[in-house]
Structure formats: structure tokens, C-alpha cells
Structure 1
Amino acid sequence: MQNQIKSLQNDKVKFLNQLKEKARVRRREKLFIIEGKREITLAIQGGYTITQLYYCSSIITYKEVSLLAKTYNNQIELFEITSEIYQKLAYRATTEGVLAVVVSKNTDINKLTLPSKNPLILVAEAPEKPGNIGALLRTADAAQLDAVLIANPKTDLYNPNIIRSSVGCLFTNTIATGSTVDIVNFLKKEQVNIYGAALQASVNYNTLDYTKPTAIVVGTEATGISDLFLENTTQNIIIPMNGVIDSMNVSVAAGILIFEAKRQRGFTN
């Protein structure tokens, strides 16, 4: 079933705009917005619940949207919106004319079950910039990590800029969040070696064995990882650099460390 919405003053449009703009509304309603066919398809494949689809018929046809809805088992409400409404709600001018309202997942670290007995995990502590978080999730997807753990997140996970910068990899990764204490306790309980990217008491990253259960921890570019993580690492690791500065973009550093671990594991697990 489809409905038509033609006014920017429509209550549904106002609500969608709040979901787009306000993290507190997303948290309260346990809903968020996705735009674009690829991202919506990845969310469906990732087990997210889609409740509504809004489409602009001057960009995408009803038939195309119906086919997208049919890839999902539950009944989805379809709403046709004007190009003016779509332009107000969409973050990207190049998306394919379709938006979805999606139910948030519970990402509590205490709910996480690791899919592997020999996991390779990325931990990002206190990340703030949506672009960095998105890049980390893209790297995690490329490496097919067992989990991405975000300690003390400073940005709402369902921020549209994270979805955009991750190109949908928010939905392809197993993600859990919690305090640093919770995540340290989880890793210790699971008997996972903790390797922290830090300058203090560190060794070159390529001198260690990552073929056992491994968590690679990265912090912010400004402050690095916290004292609590430093006190609980199996070993701190460093990427040797020949330039003037002693740090690099967190997503670049994470990629180097993760793919060294993947190389050691033969890129098979």
C-alpha cells in the first residue's frame, strides 16, 4: 500500500526531519533513517527491521520501490513524496530517491556473542568524527572482522553522516558499544589478547603474533587510548613513522594493523 505526501508541514515529514537531525529523538524512538537503495538493501541483509519507505517518483519508480520492499518479509508502508520534501530530508543529492525508517538495534556489549572462537576484533575508543567512524567500519568490512567494539562513543551510531561515510558498512559489521570498563572486562572474559596502538612501552606492530584471539585498540588522534586500556593491554604496538609528526589518521592506522593481522592469518578467518 502506498500513500502520497505533498506538504512539508505534514506531521510525518516533520518527524522524519527530527530523526535526521536529532540524536535524542533517534534514541528515544529507537528509529533512524537510511537513504539509498544500496544502504537499505544492506540493512535488510544485516537483519534490521524496516518499517516505512518514502520515495520520490521523479527519481525512482513505484515499481522499483515495490521490488525493494519485496526483498523484506514484513509489510512495509510506502509513501510517495515530492522532490521538495525529498530534498529537505536527504543528506546526499546523489541518492536514488528512496528513504527508509529503520528500527535501531541494541548494541550493548553485554548482548554480544562472538561468532568465532579465534576472533579478530577492532576496538575504537571514544571516536568523535563520523567520517572516521565510517572509515573504520569500511575497513572492518573489508577485513571481515568478527566485531567492532566502540568504547565510550561520543557520536550517535545512527548519525546520518556515519551511515553515509560507512557506505552502508554500519549494517555489514557486528557492532557493540559500552564503557571502556565494560569492553575491557568483555575482552578479558573472552580471553582475547589486547593490543593497543600507543607510544608508551610499545613494540613495532609487525613483530607480534596476531593468529590467536586478538583485539586491536585505537584511540583518538588527539589523546590516544585511555589509561585504563593502557593498564590492560597484552602489549602496546606502534607503526614506525619517518615523518615529522608522530601520529596518523586513526582509520589509516587501524587499516595497517588489521591487515597485518589478516596477513598472518592467511586472509581466511
Structure 2
Amino acid sequence: MRFEQITSVKNNRVKDWASLKQKKYRTQLGMYLAEGIRLVEEAVASGAPIEAILISGDLQSGRYDKIVNGVASLGTNLYEVTEQVLEHVADTKTPQGVVAIIKQTVGDPRQFLQNKTNPLYLVLDSIQDPGNLGTMIRTADAVGASGVFLGKTCVDLYNPKVVRATMGSLYHLPLFEVDLETFLPLMKEQGVTIVGTATEADKTVFQHDFTQGTVLVIGSEAHGLSEGVAALVDHNISLPMPGQAESLNAAIASSVMMYEALRQRTQ
């Protein structure tokens, strides 16, 4: 397979790709960056809408075979670039030799809700830390959640740090960005229970029944659920903390709750 070669950071395509490190250009161009061999391999294997793949390094080493072979019949643009070009495009300081430019996918969240049986949804309100958001998506994937919904005040789903933190789970389950105050009532119409988290709650996570259709809403570690979202919650639950820790990281707290839901649903 022939690769087109790009050697200059002044190339117009390189300028566009490098701009994807900023949200306004990701929105404008409708694309985002995925970096690293494992993540790009996962994007290829999952059939993500890849616009281009940039590779810097020894193409004869076999290191990139899964990527190259995986897109051979898809018409994806493959570029052999210099290390300087790759570093200019990549978000990390020491990129692993490959970057994919991927089209953002926008599904219809309202249609997605239709005819779901006993779903487990994760809803995120004002999560600002990219690592936390990526970890929450990864955990939702691990427990087999039905989908993840991000409120408009969350960090951008396509932030390069979020994409890397998902470790490929970005490509495994439905993800939507929605206005929570508008969308949560639509979820209620589907017969699910909306469960929030609060330190002052009637039940702990271990006392709540997760075997029915559930929407688990997680707010920011600093401020919890926003006022408008909190008003839409059916029940609040808490994590028991008999030790002396003041609080748990939001990603850890959501992981405990999602795994308790999985335990109840599979026992």
C-alpha cells in the first residue's frame, strides 16, 4: 500500500489537523484526534469513521500492521509523516508514532431511548476533569451500560485527554451530549428511575434496587449535581464511608455504583 508523504508542518492539512487540539476547531471541522497504537487499532477494529491516519516511524517493522491492514479496503487516507509533523499534530509531547483523524458521530438520543428493555444509563453532570470523564466512560463500557449521556456543561467528549482516557471504550457504547434538564424528563417517560448521589440520602448504594431500568446521575466532585438536574432526581443514594476520608473522586464513586448495579443484575 502506498502512503502519501507529508514533511512540512506548514502543509494546510497539517494545520487543520493540529487545530483539532482546540474545541472550537473540533466543532467547526467535525473531527477529533486519537493518538497511540492501541487506541487507533481499537478505532479501526470498531469501524470508527476515520478520515486519515498519520504514521511516523519504520513502516516495515510490523508495528502498525493491524492499523494498515484494517483500513486497507476502506479507502482511509494514510500518510507517512515526519516525526516533526506528528509532534505538531499530536496533543501529547511524545506521541507513539501514529495519530488518527476521526469524524465526530452524532446520533439521535431521543430515538435511542425507544424500546430499550431494563436499561442502565450513566448520566454525567458538569464533569470537568478529562481523566475522570474518560474513566467513567471506560467503566460504563466494562459493566455493559446501555449508554452514556453527557450534559452540556461537561468537558468536551472529544478533548484529546478524554479520548485517551477512554482507552478505546469511546467506540464500544452509545455516547450522547444532551441538555440534561430537557432530556431527563424524556427518560422518565420511558419508565426508568433517575438516581442521584448525595451525602444526605435515605439509602446507600447497596440498599438501592438497580435491577429495574435505572439512570445513574453523577455530578462534579466539587459541586455535586446542578440545581436543575437535582430537582429531576427520583431518589438519592450515598456511598457509605466508615473511614475518615472526606469524599471520593467522582470517577471512583461512579465505578463503585455501576459495579453494584452489575452485581445486582447478574447475581
Q: 2:6 touches 2:81 (CA, 8 Å); kept in 1?
A: yes
Q: 1:125 touches 1:225 (CA, 8 Å); kept in 2?
A: yes
Cα distance, 1:108 vs. partner? 5.1
Aligned pairs for 1:193-232 within 5 A: 193-232=193-232
Cα distance, 1:42 vs. partner? 2.2
The equivalent of 1:16 in structure 2 is: 17
**What secondary structure sits across from 2:162 in the alignment?**
helix
- Deviations 1:150-172, CA, capped at 9 Å, x for gaps: 12233221110001112122222
Mapped to 2, the partners of 1:236 and 1:6 lie a distance apart of: 56
**What secondary structure sits across from 1:112 in the alignment?**
helix
**Which sections of structure 1, spanning at least 5 residues, go unmatched?**
none
Aligned pairs for 1:89-238 within 5 A: 89-92=89-92, 95-107=95-107, 109-113=109-113, 116-238=116-238
* Larger mean Cα displacement after TM superposition, 60-69 or 248-257: 60-69
**What secondary structure sits across from 2:117 in the alignment?**
coil
TM-score, normalisation: structure 1: 0.89
Q: 1:115 touches 1:146 (CA, 8 Å); kept in 2?
A: no
TM-score, normalisation: structure 2: 0.90
**What secondary structure sits across from 2:28 in the alignment?**
helix
**What secondary structure sits across from 2:170 in the alignment?**
coil
Q: 2:196 touches 2:217 (CA, 8 Å); kept in 1?
A: yes
- Deviations 1:173-199, CA, capped at 9 Å, x for gaps: 211111122331231122111111113
Q: CA-atom RMSD, angstroms?
A: 2.2
Name the amino acid aligned to 1:184: L
Cα distance, 1:92 vs. partner? 3.9
Mapped to 1, the partners of 2:263 and 2:195 lie a distance apart of: 16
Mapped to 2, the partners of 1:109 and 1:220 lie a distance apart of: 23
- Deviations 1:209-228, CA, capped at 9 Å, x for gaps: 11010111110011111233
Q: 1:112 touches 1:176 (CA, 8 Å); kept in 2?
A: no
Q: 2:45 touches 2:70 (CA, 8 Å); kept in 1?
A: no
**What secondary structure sits across from 1:209 in the alignment?**
coil
* Larger mean Cα displacement after TM superposition, 68-77 or 254-263: 68-77
Mapped to 2, the partners of 1:100 and 1:69 lie a distance apart of: 12
Q: For this pair of structures, how many residues does the alignment match?
A: 265
Q: 1:194 touches 1:215 (CA, 8 Å); kept in 2?
A: yes
**Which sections of structure 2, spanning at least 5 residues, go unmatched?**
none
Q: 1:108 touches 1:178 (CA, 8 Å); kept in 2?
A: no
**What secondary structure sits across from 2:215 in the alignment?**
strand
Query: What is the aligned-residue identity percentage?
Result: 28
1:68 aligned to 2:67? yes
